[in-house]
Amino acid sequence: MSTHSGPFPPKLDRTVTIPFRGKMASEQAFLDLFREGMALVEDAANYLDGAGRRESKCLQPYIALAYATESMRLTTRLTQLATWLLARRAVLNGEHMPLAGSANDPLLLPPVTRISGSRSFDQLPARLKALIEEAYRLHQRISDFDAADRGEVREPSVRKPNPVAAQLAQINKAFTH
């Protein structure tokens, strides 16, 4: 039973701070990331459907195969990132509740992996290679944002050399000279 009888609630003994600035900064950082990510998805789609399609028809068969492989990898990565961005925006807007811990949780990103060592990667069109690099950087930024937002402490990501790719390059060099 309360002994308070005044028209106003009693004063609390402790101060409760609501971190609006941190929340707003995080939301703004996400919105910037969202715009950048969706712009990259659109740029890649326009390239692959237009200039990239025309460029791929002029490639030698083995390079055309590498083009098809790399464009599918790019499309897959960007689809995963767009799914994460859209799901995260839905959560931010209160339209969706995350399926925490579920394998079907759209807010669980696949790890950032970089498949390299393709013999003909260097011969692919420059715009495709640039889009692939942008997608890797975006994936890393989204992964870092997600980890920070979840309160995970991570070591800064450092790109490790691929020892298999280095050996393949040596073999390729030995047989091409």
Pick 172 or 61 by higher pLDDT.
61
- Domain assignment present for 7: no
Percentage of the chain exceeding pLDDT 90: 44
What total number of domains does the chain contain?
1
pLDDT value at 33 more than 60: yes
pTM above 0.75, yes or no: no
User: How does residue 99 score in pLDDT terms, banded at 50, 70 and 90?
Assistant: low
| pLDDT at 16 (0 to 100) | 45
Nearest Cα neighbor of 29 from 111, 121, 142, 169 is 142
pLDDT value at 67 more than 80: yes
- Domain assignment present for 101: no
Domain span including residue 61:
22-95+116-176
- Domain assignment present for 104: no
- Domain assignment present for 139: yes
- Domain assignment present for 106: no
- Domain assignment present for 12: no
For residues 89-116, b (16+ Cβ closer than 10 Å) or e, as one string?
eeeeeeeeeeeeeeeeebbebeebeeee
- Domain assignment present for 4: no
- The CATH number covering residue 146 comes to 1.10.8.930
| pLDDT at 19 (0 to 100) | 44
| pLDDT at 112 (0 to 100) | 81
- Domain assignment present for 73: yes
Phi and psi torsions of 45, nearest 5°? -60, -45
Q: What is the dihedral of CA 132, 134, 136, 138, to 10 degrees?
A: -150
